[in-house]
Structure 1
Amino acid sequence: MEERRKITRTSVDKVKAATNKVVTNMLTSDNANIELDKIMPEILASLGC
């Protein structure tokens, strides 16, 4: 159970970091959609999809 909790925590942290990066790019550039396309596979992978 503890191992699963650790993996879930890591996944949540990765998704938060990727989401923060996308939001920052949305606020600072016109390339937000391109950046999201690059990061989405990383988000899905961190969720085990």
Structure 2
Amino acid sequence: MLVIKLSGAAVFIAAVCVGLGVLLTRPVLYYAAIALSLAAFLTIVASAFPW
């Protein structure tokens, strides 16, 4: 459950980065958003495996 909450928070922060990137025309924010989304996806995938 904690993994889903953290992943959701990462996706929300990524959406904020995209919004700020549009407003401020800063491409680096898009890269941060992509990195956060990828990290959230990999976290969910990794949580599916019993370690």
Q: What TM-score does the superposition give when structure 1 sets the normalisation length? A: 0.61
Per the TM alignment, residue 8 of structure 1 is displaced from its structure 2 partner at its CA by 0.3
Q: Does 1:22 align with 2:18?
A: yes
Query: Which aligned pairs between 1:1-49 and structure 2 lie closer than 5 A?
Result: 5-29=1-25, 31-32=26-27, 35-36=29-30, 38-39=31-32, 40-48=34-42
Q: Superposition RMSD on alpha carbons, in Å?
A: 1.8
Per the TM alignment, residue 6 of structure 1 is displaced from its structure 2 partner at its CA by 0.7
d(CA) in 1 for partners of 2:11, 2:29 = 14
> Which ranges of structure 2 fall in alignment gaps of 5 or more residues?
46-51
* Percent identity of equivalent pairs: 17
Q: Where do 4+ consecutive residues of structure 1 move more than 4 Å?
A: none
Contact 2:14 2:37 in 1 (8 A): yes
Q: What TM-score does the superposition give when structure 2 sets the normalisation length? A: 0.60
How many residue pairs get aligned? The number is: 42
d(CA) in 2 for partners of 1:41, 1:21 = 11
